[in-house]
Amino acid sequence: MSGLPPVRVHYPHVEARDDLLAGSPVVRGTKVPVRRLWAWHRKGVTVETLVKRYPALGPAKVLGALAFAYDNQDVLEADLERERALLDAEAEKVPGAMEQTKLPFGGG
């Protein structure tokens, strides 16, 4: 995984490949980054709400992604920090721009 700590505990519903969203862990078979589910969950968003937001995932994949996040918190924190750094760099390039920022490893 480029720029992220190694995954310590693997889960069947999560994959991290350098050729997919720059190595960010995602829900297998999708482009849904685990960092998004993790960030919302940490803010108090329930599993039920996450399943409603991503109905194609279903509860097993959402819970699997969150379990992965708990067992690999260093990976998720590094991925969130990488996202913040890219957002900050984009904002500095075009101060005051209101356009949507495109990150090389995608969003939700």
For residue 15, the surrounding DSSP H or E stretch is strand 14-15
The CATH code that applies to domain 14-90 is 1.10.10.10
User: Could you tell me the residue ranges of all domains in the chain?
Assistant: 14-90
Contact 25, 14 (CB under 8 A): yes
**Length of the chain counted residue by residue:** 108
pLDDT per position as a tens digit, 54-90? 999 999 999 999 999 999 999 999 999 999 998 887 7
pTM to 2 decimals? 0.80
pLDDT per position as a tens digit, 26-37? 999 999 999 999
Q: For 7-106, where are the alpha helices, taking DSSP H only?
A: 34-42, 47-53, 58-71, 73-93
- Rounded Cα–Cα distance for residues 43 and 14 (Å): 21
Is the pLDDT confidence value at 41 over 90? yes
39 band by pLDDT with thresholds 50, 70 and 90: very high
